[in-house]
Amino acid sequence: MSQHSINENVLSKQVEDLLVARNLRGMKTVQPALSSGYYLRAARTLYKCKGHVLIGTGFPVVDTFETDGPLGAIALYDALEKLGATPVIVCGPPVSQALMEKYRVHEIRVGEHQERTLEAFKALYNYNPDAVLSIERPGQAEDGGYYNMRGESISARTACFDTFVNNAKCPTIGIGDGGNEIGMGNITEAIKGLDITPAATRVDELLIADVSNWGAYGLITFFSLWSGRDLLGEIDPLAIIEYLSKLGSVDGVTRINQLTEDGLPLEEGDSVIAGLRALIGYTN
């Protein structure tokens, strides 16, 4: 298949369908609430970025963080850096402390709301980002709290990235897989039927996937197409998850330190990457 003959709108729909095909947490069900082309639109925004791109991630699980989110954030960070942008991962402890040695990290902390809001404004002013993206980051519910997939409050352990998204003077993108992540406020009506305390925070472009990490792969599909470089094939999920595991990550579903994402073996994510690469003509 010639990459020049690919219709980008058709490709976006194929990517969108592939990423929710398993319908693990109802994302296929809510997909009609989104206007098709969302992966294409978000990828166009990011592909143009040559300055800072803030990538918020890190979903607190017990006293540590889950593999879903940081894995995709790192894959996206690496791809954006190869394209000439300056990505910065925005997250709270312990994931921030874990990633600092290897990546540009801006740490956010749990604390008094007014003080943290001021810090977010200061960070946005200093970075002056081209885009702000959230991948598997808890979003504030209508009551201002944060909740996990079990409906348990995680407010005491969740630093606020919503303030960055709400006050950014650049495009904002959210990636989620369950309804309680930043961006899900875009489809409030559609997610009412899910067994979740939904997030209310909105973004310019919401991306959904069965596993949030896979949403990063959806974006990198377009980066690969446009750059003529197999950036998808350069992702090494096993190396990333082994790195995260050594830093203390757990699977968000099992809550165990293991090389899985949302209860799924890494082979599931590998097959998603293979499927996406095939869509743009990479078959090996």
The pLDDT, as a whole number, for residue 3 is: 58
Q: Packing angle between helix 266-279 and helix 212-227, nearest 10 degrees?
A: 30
Tell me which residues of the chain have a pLDDT lower than 50.
1
The answer to whether residue 19 is domain-embedded is yes
In a domain, 162, yes or no: yes
pLDDT of residue 197: 95
Residue 2 is predicted with a pLDDT of 53
In a domain, 139, yes or no: yes
Give domain status of residue 67, yes or no: yes
284 belongs to a structural domain: no
Tens-digit pLDDT profile for residues 228-279: 999 999 999 999 999 999 999 999 999 999 999 999 999 999 999 999 999 9
- Quote the pTM value: 0.97
Q: Which domain holds residue 190?
A: 3-279
Whether 30 is covered by a domain: the verdict is yes
Indicate whether 23 belongs to any domain. yes
Q: How many domains does the chain have?
A: 1
Q: What per-residue confidence (pLDDT) applies to 222?
A: 98
* Residue 78: inside a domain: yes
CATH code of 131's domain: 3.90.1640.20
